[in-house]
Structure 1
Amino acid sequence: MKFQNKLRTILGASLILTASACESYLDVNENPNNPQDAPISGLMTNITYETSLNVYREGSAVSNYVQYLASPNPSSASDTMEPLNFSSMWFSLYNVMTDLYTMNEKAEAEGALQYLGAGQVLMALNLGMTVDLFGDVPFSESFNFSTVTPAYDDDQVLYGTVMSLLDQGITNLQQESSSSIGNDDFIYGGDIDLWLKFAYTLKARYMIHMKGSAGYSASEVLAAASQGFTSNDDNASVTFFEQRFNPWAQDAIDNANLLLTGWISEQFIEALDGTSYPTVDPRMKLMVGTTDDGEFIGTVNGAGRGNAPEQGARSTLVEGQYYTSRQSPLLIATYAELKFIEAEAAFETDKAAAYEAYLEGINAHMDMLSVDEDEKAAYLADPSVGMGADALTIDDIFKEKYVALFLHPETWNDARRYDYGYKNMDLPANVNPNLNGEYIRRLAYPDSEVSRNGNNVPSVTLLDRIWWDQ
């Protein structure tokens, strides 16, 4: 059974705070209180934990762009797609990759090939997430301390690095190792079979991004998917603990305390409440909260609360649901996601296989949320959902994946590949006029990077597309 990652002790929390061995170009001053030669086990603890938080950080950054969330305040920059400063998120991504570089060097030198393989998989994930947000980024010169102003690598070349790292990780995870991963791994507790499934799932994820490019192969996506997750028990996640809540739970708690975060977009509510699609989705009540009057009412992105300024007049994230319980798992990759990748990859050549994968993706997500069996059966029997293989469209696959990847940053990759084609999705009110009536396509480089490495930072606009989004 999948390892349940319970970080219960002060010692565990202490490891997270002290294990970092970051000495990349991001570091300006040396902190004498931080260890300079962290052990592999401590690095693994920090890396697996912080990788899950990087998924949250990215999800939080882009959830307004895909209209899962909306700001309660009109013309909020997060809603209206203004250039924002993501220096903290950039730093977090590079901190983890610096720790991974150090751990992988140590693991290779010591023959600890399980750690090396897992480290290569996680380097691929963190690099891939960074490229998907920013395009060209520093990598080849970032971790060897030869310069504090590293050059930027081409985003398409870096995707080749992501795929190579995954292949290397798969190979090394299967080799004899001088030491075994254990409870220092907060994702799988050292279960190598699950690490291998995770690596193949990530291969399918990053290959589906390339759809439409010269290097894309649907058969290769399906081959990777066939070796990926086989049930929800395989999901890659980190479960939180008494000293540190799941950050989406913290957002729900903050909102209940009038800090006004985690408000739900009208687009997402209407995708589930029977407005945009013919049937009411039984998952809605398990994912978001109601108003004080027991209704599901979203907030229009860019318009804010409008004529309902009072707390409780709009749907928000509420504590205690699957995504927002204090010890809820923070999802990195899921079986449901993989089935929708499989459905998309099979769609052009095998509609029957695509439909089977599409239905299994819905089933997997509903089972994850513990949807009532009768409600699940009724939803799947509705002709707008269980339409049969011949009537299945790519729109159906993207719609159900949109629901199943709630709050996950992968949805922004889908939205850009899909040209924001979700039914009834409109540009936010008061949208950034510099976008010329179009949707945002990338993030601006963070202020800290422009200040520190400005001569190398590419000149881009928010409409410039990364290599796979053409």
Structure 2
Amino acid sequence: MKILKYTCIALAVIATSCSDDYFDVNSSVTAPTTSSLAPQFRIQGAIENTTGTAQYRGAREIIGVTQYAAHHTRAYESNSWTNGFTTGRYFLWQNAYVYALPNTADLIVLGKKHNAPNYTAVGKILRAYIFGMTTDQYGDIVTEDTYDGESNMNITPKFVTQKEAYKTIFRLLDEAIAELQLPSPIGLNVEGGDVLYDGDQQKWIRFAQSIKARYLNHLSKKTSGDMAYDADAIIAACEAGINSNALNAQQDFVGGEAENQRQPFAEGGYGSSRFRYFSTFFVNLLKNPLNLAVPIEDPRLTIIVPEAVDGGYVGLDVGRGLDGDPPTKYSAGNGGFYTSPTAPTYMLTYSEVKFIEAEARFRKNDLPGAYAAFKQGVQADLEKLNVPTVEMTAYLELLDIEIGPTNIDLSAIMIQKYIANMLNPETWVDMRRMDYSANIYPGLQRPVNVNLDIFPGNDEWIQAMMYEYNEEDRNYVNMPTNDPLIRLKTPVWWNTSDQ
């Protein structure tokens, strides 16, 4: 991993020392950074900043919201929606706009400059991915008015609605798919920089189609207008998307001594402090994922949660903290399939594509098709986790018995997708689309010690994130209201029934 190196290269003119201050610049350091570079030397930085800074930060602060993890401290901010959640000290915004997006903008410009449409396409795909993560957590964002690799940076950019942001995402993806089919004089991996797909442009096309399927599927509450939910379009994108685990979009880690060489949520990784324990909800879900009267454990339990304690595998209640209990009472969060030093960061996987397809087919009342896609999604995830063949076969047979085409429903689909998408910020999108329903996610409850000053009602859940305080300082004229009583409680556009 070379995240810090490439961040500094990408922002050599924007910020002379990789400062954490968002847009802490003056008129002499807002110029483009692409004058004497070639795109093959920038693609790795663009990829690694997408995952290692933007996605990591988008996942870190919400692992308590999605209830994959629980912190050892009582009423910790991401667990109980306090402190940083109400003061704008949540840094996906900075990581996206200062570190990740400038790399994609420069890659697009350099691809055009060197007549290499494949590099321009990759820049657009990563840009769409980052815009998607950002708008899904904040709502209205900056798209056209942010750094573009050609103009001086505007430190008071205008915001666009989430609906407009989604249109931009789809446009970028469609343009990228077309550009990847054009000839290029420079291969994507000539300098070893394509750490996602080793220069295979057809795999990049499938990745772009999968992202498109993901964002089309977010529109499940839209029933009319130019952005209405379209199950057939989603299914078509899924069929053109990632079609095996070999095509999973993932950022690998070597597990070295440096923090940025390790999976961020592994011991010694730069996000390990946020993942001290698995949550009660997640552990209990793995103990009985089919919600049976007589529980049957998921074969992934011991692979994801590596540490058994007295009484077996035990999660910690989100928001409660250890509360005087010994740390050894709960299953530690580091060391499992997703939290070992060499564990990848998964951007989008074959299993997710199949679960998206299953949901779309279910919504169009194709129950046999929904179940077939659902089962393929489960199998893909079991294979990704290297579940032994005997256990995998038994589990798939159990799905046939307990669910099958006649009993397939949104709960079955979303539970398996929740398990398969561990640590991906996409899970928060799903939980909001499903209205945090305990009918969809059996056993789901609001955190202990939840912030009652903002969420006094028992049915109130967090809906969006505060904009960063430094964006508010610099760009308060253009940004939407940042009152936590409004920001944190107001559903984003795709989570409403209006057009």
TM norm structure 1? 0.90
Residue 184 of structure 2 is matched in structure 1 by 177
- Kept in 1, the 8 Å contact 2:73–2:320? The answer is yes
Cα offset, 1:103, TM superposition: 1.8
Q: Deviations over 1:290-330 (max 9, x none)?
A: 3443721111111112352x2222112232x3212322221
- Alignment-mate amino acid for residue 453 of structure 1: N
Q: Deviations over 1:368-388 (max 9, x none)?
A: 111112222222222587521
SS in 2 for 1:51: helix
SS in 1 for 2:312: coil
Cα offset, 1:196, TM superposition: 0.6
- Kept in 1, the 8 Å contact 2:61–2:90? The answer is no
Residue 18 of structure 2 is matched in structure 1 by none
- Kept in 2, the 8 Å contact 1:266–1:299? The answer is yes
Cα offset, 1:248, TM superposition: 7.2
Evaluate the alpha carbon distance shift between residue 250 and residue 148 of structure 1 in structure 2; reply closer, same or farther with a 3 A threshold.
closer
CA distance in 1, matches of 2:172, 2:309: 49
Cα offset, 1:247, TM superposition: 7.6
Q: Report the more deviating stretch, 404-413 or 238-247.
A: 238-247
Evaluate the alpha carbon distance shift between residue 301 and residue 19 of structure 1 in structure 2; reply closer, same or farther with a 3 A threshold.
same
- Alignment-mate amino acid for residue 386 of structure 2: S
Cα offset, 1:412, TM superposition: 0.2
Cα offset, 1:260, TM superposition: 7.1
Q: Report the more deviating stretch, 137-146 or 154-163.
A: 137-146
Cα offset, 1:106, TM superposition: 2.1
Residue 39 of structure 2 is matched in structure 1 by 40
Query: Do structure 1's residue 74 and structure 2's residue 93 form an aligned pair?
Result: no
- Kept in 2, the 8 Å contact 1:114–1:175? The answer is yes
Residue 285 of structure 1 is matched in structure 2 by 302
Cα offset, 1:261, TM superposition: 3.5
Q: Deviations over 1:165-185 (max 9, x none)?
A: 000000001111132210211
CA distance in 1, matches of 2:492, 2:13: 28
Query: Do structure 1's residue 428 and structure 2's residue 443 form an aligned pair?
Result: no
Q: Which residue, out of 287, 298, 306, partners 1:273?
A: 287
- Alignment-mate amino acid for residue 423 of structure 2: L
CA distance in 2, matches of 1:283, 1:246: 27
Residue 337 of structure 1 is matched in structure 2 by 352
Evaluate the alpha carbon distance shift between residue 249 and residue 312 of structure 1 in structure 2; reply closer, same or farther with a 3 A threshold.
farther
Residue 19 of structure 2 is matched in structure 1 by none
Residue 208 of structure 1 is matched in structure 2 by 217
Evaluate the alpha carbon distance shift between residue 275 and residue 20 of structure 1 in structure 2; reply closer, same or farther with a 3 A threshold.
closer
Evaluate the alpha carbon distance shift between residue 429 and residue 146 of structure 1 in structure 2; reply closer, same or farther with a 3 A threshold.
closer
Q: Report the more deviating stretch, 44-53 or 101-110.
A: 101-110
Q: Deviations over 1:111-137 (max 9, x none)?
A: 110101111111110111110011111
Evaluate the alpha carbon distance shift between residue 126 and residue 116 of structure 1 in structure 2; reply closer, same or farther with a 3 A threshold.
same
Within 5 Å, give how 1:63-142 maps onto structure 2. 63-82=63-82, 83-84=85-86, 85-94=88-97, 95-142=99-146
Evaluate the alpha carbon distance shift between residue 66 and residue 243 of structure 1 in structure 2; reply closer, same or farther with a 3 A threshold.
same
Q: Which residue, out of 453, 459, 464, partners 1:442?
A: 464
Evaluate the alpha carbon distance shift between residue 244 and residue 181 of structure 1 in structure 2; reply closer, same or farther with a 3 A threshold.
farther
Percent sequence identity over matched residues?
29
- Alignment-mate amino acid for residue 322 of structure 1: F
Evaluate the alpha carbon distance shift between residue 21 and residue 107 of structure 1 in structure 2; reply closer, same or farther with a 3 A threshold.
farther
Evaluate the alpha carbon distance shift between residue 299 and residue 105 of structure 1 in structure 2; reply closer, same or farther with a 3 A threshold.
same
Query: Do structure 1's residue 192 and structure 2's residue 218 form an aligned pair?
Result: no
Evaluate the alpha carbon distance shift between residue 259 and residue 21 of structure 1 in structure 2; reply closer, same or farther with a 3 A threshold.
closer
Query: Do structure 1's residue 218 and structure 2's residue 231 form an aligned pair?
Result: yes
- Kept in 2, the 8 Å contact 1:336–1:364? The answer is yes
CA distance in 1, matches of 2:400, 2:69: 25
Cα offset, 1:466, TM superposition: 1.1
SS in 2 for 1:237: strand
Evaluate the alpha carbon distance shift between residue 13 and residue 289 of structure 1 in structure 2; reply closer, same or farther with a 3 A threshold.
same
Q: Which residue, out of 220, 228, 248, partners 1:235?
A: 248
- Kept in 2, the 8 Å contact 1:246–1:326? The answer is no
Cα offset, 1:142, TM superposition: 1.4
CA distance in 2, matches of 1:260, 1:447: 21
Evaluate the alpha carbon distance shift between residue 377 and residue 271 of structure 1 in structure 2; reply closer, same or farther with a 3 A threshold.
same
CA distance in 1, matches of 2:245, 2:132: 23
SS in 1 for 2:368: helix
Q: Which residue, out of 376, 389, 396, partners 2:405?
A: 389
Cα offset, 1:71, TM superposition: 1.5
Q: Report the more deviating stretch, 56-65 or 200-209.
A: 56-65
CA distance in 1, matches of 2:350, 2:79: 30
- Alignment-mate amino acid for residue 470 of structure 2: S
Query: Do structure 1's residue 16 and structure 2's residue 6 form an aligned pair?
Result: yes
CA distance in 2, matches of 1:305, 1:244: 29
- Alignment-mate amino acid for residue 61 of structure 2: A
- Kept in 1, the 8 Å contact 2:209–2:240? The answer is yes
Q: Which residue, out of 308, 312, 323, partners 1:306?
A: 323
SS in 2 for 1:456: coil
Q: Deviations over 1:346-396 (max 9, x none)?
A: 013311111011011111111111111222222222258752101111111
Gaps of 5+ in 1: 1-6
CA distance in 1, matches of 2:146, 2:263: 34
- Kept in 2, the 8 Å contact 1:246–1:324? The answer is no
Q: Deviations over 1:71-98 (max 9, x none)?
A: 1121112111232534532121112212
Q: Report the more deviating stretch, 77-86 or 407-416.
A: 77-86
SS in 1 for 2:91: helix
CA distance in 2, matches of 1:287, 1:164: 37
CA RMSD in angstroms comes to 2.5
CA distance in 2, matches of 1:154, 1:260: 31
CA distance in 1, matches of 2:23, 2:163: 24
Q: Deviations over 1:13-64 (max 9, x none)?
A: 78535431465682415679x9764432232111111111222221112111
Q: Deviations over 1:248-275 (max 9, x none)?
A: 74544259xx957431110001111138
Query: Do structure 1's residue 26 and structure 2's residue 23 form an aligned pair?
Result: yes
